[in-house]
Amino acid sequence: MSAPGQLIPLRSSEDARGKLVSVEALRDVPFAIERVYYIVAHEGAARGFHAHKTLEQLMICVSGSCRIILDDGSRRVHHALDRPDQGLIVGPMIWREMHEFSKDCVLLVLASAPYDEEDYIRDYETFATEVGKAA
């Protein structure tokens, strides 16, 4: 079984004017993009603390840095996001926590579906029970 989350390089081109990074659904991301949002957290804030039943996401730190903790019920993996040309794919039934936001952090999230409160699991014990049932 692979570790939760997958870091992927994003297509980019750079010249004297700067860097352009592009992301295309079903080419760079293994799902159709239905929702886009971004997080600008206060330095030192912690966010997330939930899993999604079916939602897939690609997280890109377009500015600054943050640390993402992913947990599949048997392993916890820490990912540092600090490059705008790298993304973290997070599949369904993965607990996620976001920590150590730098003061200039902007975390962009591309999601496979619109917001749906019914898709969230917001209690870790409930998540662990659900993951155990699926195993």
In angstroms, the CA 95 to CA 15 distance is 38
Residue 112, helix vs strand vs coil: coil
- Identify the active-site residue in 50, 52, 78, 79: 50
* 52 a catalytic residue: no
**Burial class of residue 93 in the structure, from the number of CB atoms within 10 Å of its CB (0-12 exposed, 13-18 middle, 19+ buried):** middle
- Catalytic amino acids? 50
